[in-house]
Amino acid sequence: MSDLIAPHGKQEKLMPLLLEGSALEAEKKKAQGLKKITITTRETSDAIMLGIGAFTPLTGFMTKADWKGVCDKYTMADGTFWPIPITVSTDDEGVKSGDELSLVDEETGTIIATMKVTEKYTIDKEYECKAVFKATDKEHPGVQKVMEQGKYNLAGPIKVLSESYYPEQFKDIYQRPAESRQIFEKLGWKRVAALQLRNPMHRSHEFLAKIAVEVMDGVYIHQLVGKLKEGDIPADVRVKAIDVLVDNYFVKGTVVQGGYPMEMRYAGPREALLHAVFRQNYGCSHMIIGRDHAGVGDYYGPFDAQKIFDEIPKGALKCQNLNIDWTFWCYKCGGMASMKTCPHKKDDRLMLSGTVVRKTLSEGGKLPVEFSRPEVASVLTDYYQKLDKKVEIKLHGAATGDVKKS
């Protein structure tokens, strides 16, 4: 019996929906003859997360009762805790309950899954945005995607036929939950902290990971390899940057790097909960929650993602939050520190953030050694020098420290 934390849900076992062998071949053949609807890259990535068991115990896309329960009180119709709706949509008026469909990725044209439609329903998109993002303006990238969804949501179980290009393009780090669990068990880990990444690791990320290494059996550096917003650094570049950091500055056997195919929703506190849910499925007992976790712009307070773990029903999540205060380089301390360990003033501190990293390098600047290890800076500088198109990066309070700790 495994010593790792049990997967999410009453069954306490992984429930992957990805077909294999003869069942996969038969369903692929059947899928060719089904009515096809095109799904967005976000919906594709959600289907793959369902397929690999990362969204255990979900069996498909949510019903209206599930959708409303998740928006209102983090709970699906059957009582399962879940923080963000997992839905698929269409504008096709001809689709009806009882239909079997093939779901086709808009980007690759690949049939990702088949679906048995059990319900076709409309939602109040603005209501979802207020509940999930605490925002309704389209400047918020998550809001924009919800508002651009089709007229109808479709509910029903799915059978997943493909993981798209992820296993091949990210073969060195792409992992299913069953695979990460095998790695942790082989290492003898029981207490595992996940470090969520969508940016290359700067010195604050490194500091967070090393704090966790001190109190855990190991740290799972788990980065998103799905699509990000314009101006973010691509996954393959991030992988190189993390590799050189781990190889040169971490004790061998204390960290494992992995990748997962979900797209960011930038939902701040709610997304922190979702990150903890599927990290539990990956075998992580703890989720590192630092400053502005999964945030964007100034939509959320820097520590709202920590507070929300105290607001959900007790026992809803087995994966616990490992809260770490605002971290920075302190010139007087002569190294990395946090609000809890550094007695000095704001002028003595250099605030570190991925946004500042991107802005500095995109404008041809040089990262100071306090900000990033030279090996990491070299990888990122090389990437930006080869870019044909530069995207303007806007700084916000959570990136610069010009906000009050809330």
Q: What is the average per-residue pLDDT within 330-359?
A: 91
Please write the tens of the pLDDT for every residue from 7-29.
Answer: 999 999 999 999 999 999 999 99
Catalytic amino acids?
Answer: 198-199
Q: Is the pLDDT of residue 399 over 60?
A: no
For residue 355, the surrounding DSSP H or E stretch is: helix 354-362
> Is the CB of residue 372 less than 8 Å from the CB of residue 202?
yes
Evaluate whether the domain defined by 169-260+266-400 bears CATH number 2.30.29.30.
Answer: no
Q: What is the average per-residue pLDDT within 193-202?
A: 90
What is the pairing mode between strands 320-323 and 286-289? Answer: parallel
Q: Where are the domains of the chain?
A: 21-164, 169-260+266-400
Q: What is the average per-residue pLDDT within 262-276?
A: 96
What is the pairing mode between strands 192-197 and 286-289? Answer: parallel
Q: Is the pLDDT of residue 231 over 80?
A: no
Under the banding of pLDDT at 50, 70 and 90, the label for residue 275 is very high
Please write the tens of the pLDDT for every residue from 320-342.
Answer: 999 999 899 999 999 999 999 99
Q: Is the pLDDT of residue 175 over 50?
A: yes
pLDDT for position 391: 53
Least confident of 112-121, 134-143, 224-233: 224-233
Evaluate whether the domain defined by 21-164 bears CATH number 1.10.10.10.
Answer: no
Q: Torsion-angle region of residue 9: left (phi > 0), alpha (psi -120 to 50) or beta? A: left
* Mean pLDDT score across all residues of the chain: 93
> Is the CB of residue 46 less than 8 Å from the CB of residue 160?
no
What is the amino acid identity at position 186? K
How far is Cα 44 from Cα 49, in angstroms, rounded to an integer?
9
Q: What is the average per-residue pLDDT within 305-317?
A: 95
Q: Give me 204's structure tokens.
A: 């604050």
Beta-carbon contacts of 72 under 8 Å, excluding residues fewer than 6 positions away, are: 131
How far is Cα 359 from Cα 364, in angstroms, rounded to an integer?
9
pLDDT for position 403: 45
Least confident of 115-124, 307-316, 352-361, 374-383: 352-361
Q: Is the pLDDT of residue 57 over 50?
A: yes
pLDDT for position 331: 96
Q: What is the average per-residue pLDDT within 252-265?
A: 95
pLDDT for position 239: 87
Output 198 or 39, whichever has higher pLDDT: 39
Output 159 or 227, whichever has higher pLDDT: 159
Least confident of 82-86, 108-112, 190-194, 323-327: 323-327
